[in-house]
Amino acid sequence: MILQNFPEAVKEFAIQVYQKPENEKDLRRTHVSFSGTPQKHPYDKDKVILVIDPYSSNVSYFEFLTRDISFVEDLTNMVDTAGNVIPFMRLWVKKESIGIRSTPFVVADTRGVL
């Protein structure tokens, strides 16, 4: 019997090689965590994009420099109805680093909507 919609293997990201911190209290004191689905930046290998909720109709994402990420935790993977596996991770980013928060939207005149 052939299994239909069986989850496929997840591609590995270079950020998965980060080592576990020696002291978790220090990590929490010096870093902030962000959870989501990581993606390679489309044109800058020194950046990573973290999609907050990939299944939402209102997609938002963060963009960080890889050098500012000190630790990555694998969280429970998400599986859609088609059986596609989406990795879900927690990135620990150094405090006072510069990140970008983005929420794409369609430009429209909404004065008549309300």
At residue 7, the pLDDT reads: 43
Question: pLDDT of 33-92, one tens digit each?
Answer: 999 999 999 999 999 999 998 888 888 999 999 999 999 988 888 888 888 888 899 999
pLDDT band at 27 (very low <50, low <70, confident <90, very high): confident
At residue 36, the pLDDT reads: 94
Distance between CA 105 and CA 61 in Å, rounded? 12
